[in-house]
Structure 1
Amino acid sequence: MSAPRPRPTPADDAPHILVVDDDRRIRDLLSRFLSEHGYRVTTAPDAARARARLANLVFDLCVLDVMMPGENGFDLAAWLRGTSSVPIVMLTARSEGADRVRGLEIGADDYVAKPFEPRELLLRLNNILRRSAPAASPSSAPEFVRFGPFVYRPERGELRQGEEIIRITDREREMLTLLASRPGETVAREELAGSGDASNERTVDVQINRLRRKIELDPANPLHLQTVRGLGYRLQVD
């Protein structure tokens, strides 16, 4: 009988993924599968132990199960989004549209329903990490754009209101960078959607509304991030 194949050791600078799921089989499956594809993986069986991991380690992405005993994944995602912009993928047996939208409104970057194909999840993680990686700004891109009391610097992905840094998610940063690269011009929903199954018009609208809550005095009547009916959105700069 052959000896079990040793688990590969990812590089020290490989992306670090936190997997939070109360199902040990899921944790073991994802830990081995993602490690085999070059990721560093840390797991936690519940929200309390996930918080302990997050207090001591830096992660590049979090995969959170929704249905867990005690604090559920939605609550953990809301807490995490209040303290960090790390990308979040919700992993759950629930596939209802309302739950999907709730996760996106909280600040999740994607939503994968169980049962899932590990390779599909891997592709989604790859896409999110590629989007969140710093990109070289074109030489023609503005150094910063100003709208109302806010200043956004695309190269840094930094949004400020005076001296205060406004916390935004990676998807919000990606969309704001695209809008800032064409100030005052209409950017189509399709361009803002990016890639992946969760990238559709409804998702873009949810994320735009979430971003408006951070930069608009009255999100229902936006002055800076305006809707161009039937086409997309534009950023009105000073």
Structure 2
Amino acid sequence: MNNGSEIHLLVVDDDERIRTLLQKFLIRNGFYTTVARDAAQARRLLAGLEFDLIVLDVMMPGEDGVSLTRDLRSRLSTPILLLTAKGETGDRISGLEAGADDYLPKPFEPKELLLRISAILRRSPSRREERLPKILKLGEFRYDVERGELWHGENPVRLTATEAALMRAFARNPGVPMSRNALVDDLGRGAGRGGGGQANERAVDVQITRLRRKIESDPKQPRYLQTVRGAGYMLAPD
């Protein structure tokens, strides 16, 4: 598991093979991941644990995913991503009407699931922000989240406007992979009116390289500003 991640996911699917594959994949990409085989087991887990997001299969024996979504939404604000059978438009509409945040048709590429999860978490930051640290430790460096300042010991580290915007974006989502497109959007907003068009994916890669030179002891083998294959970049503080 990538260090720094505090995101806890619940995956609910009656197919043991899919549960196991998804759990291994999500753990490898930095998420705490718990699995449930059906709605009943999911309810027992939700009674005792707090999750940041639920990945829920629609077609399950017994209570289906749409029914469970409708009931959970009446009591919980936890984001829900539904896994639906390809072509079952009715399931998707019913799921969204029941309160799901997004859906992903099966079969799907695992990295697409990762991007959907990251997008939902970015749209639903309120619960996470309450427990996010005010200071992120990056080895000999520390980043003051509220002030947007990077320090090396007692010495401030000068950041360009673009580097500062990147650090703010990563600090809002520690341990969560952020796609290049999402970072381009952040840089565009940070640039203000007329500046967003200058930000592109290649520019993000260049700025990441420059930022690594400031915070990594070995920029070619980054410890804190990691590349997540197929998903983008992730800040992994101590």
TM-score (norm 1): 0.51
- Quote the offset at 1:128 in angstroms: 0.5
Quick check: which one's helix share is greater?
2
Amino acid at match of 2:14: D
Distance in 2 (CA, whole Å) between partners of 1:89 and 1:78 is 13
1:59-208 to 2 correspondences below 5 Å: 59-134=51-126
* Total equivalences in the alignment: 127
> SS of the counterpart of 1:111?
strand
The aligned counterpart of 1:54 is 46
Q: Is residue 15 of structure 1 aligned with residue 4 of structure 2?
A: no
Deviation (angstroms), 1:98: 2.3
| AA partner of residue 37 (structure 2) | P
Q: Which amino acid counterpart does residue 119 of structure 2 have in structure 1?
A: N
Give the whole-Å Cα distance in 1 for the aligned partners of 2:108 and 2:23: 15
The structure 2 residue matched to 1:45, chosen from 23, 33, 37, is 37
Q: Name the counterpart of 1:4.
A: none
Residue identity matched to 1:58: E
Percent identity, aligned pairs only? 57
Q: Does 1:24 align with 2:16?
A: yes
Cα displacement (A) at 1:11:
4.6
Runs of 4+ in 1 over 3 A off after TM superposition: 10-13
SS class of match (1:38): coil
Higher relative contact order (CA 8 A, sep 6+): 2
CA-based RMSD:
1.5
* Aligned partner of residue 102 in structure 1, secondary structure: helix
* Residue 100 of structure 1: how far off its partner (Å): 1.2
Residue 12 of structure 1: how far off its partner (Å):
7.2
User: How has the CA–CA distance of structure 1 residues 27 and 80 changed in structure 2, closer, same or farther, with 3 Å as cutoff?
Assistant: same
Give the drift of 1:49: 0.3
Amino acid in the other structure paired with 1:125: I
SS of residue paired to 2:66: helix
Q: In structure 1, what is the Cα distance between the partners aligned to 2:41 and 2:3? A: 25
Distance, in Å, in 2 between the alignment partners of 1:106 and 1:130 is 21
The one-letter code matched in structure 2 to 1:116 is F
Q: Which secondary structure state, in structure 2, belongs to the residue aligned with residue 121 of structure 1?
A: helix
Aligned partners of 2:87 and 2:102: how far apart in 1? 12
- Classify the secondary structure of the residue corresponding to 2:87: coil
Q: Which ranges in structure 2 are unaligned for 5 or more consecutive residues?
A: 130-238
Taking the aligned partners of 1:127 and 1:102, their CA distance within structure 2 comes to 21
**Aligned residue identity for 1:15:** I
Structure 1: gaps (5+ residues): 1-7, 136-238
Aligned mates of 2:87, 2:120 — CA distance in 1: 20
Q: Deviations over 1:5-47 (max 9, x none)?
A: xxx3x55752100000000111111101000110000000000
- Give the structure-2-normalised TM-score: 0.51
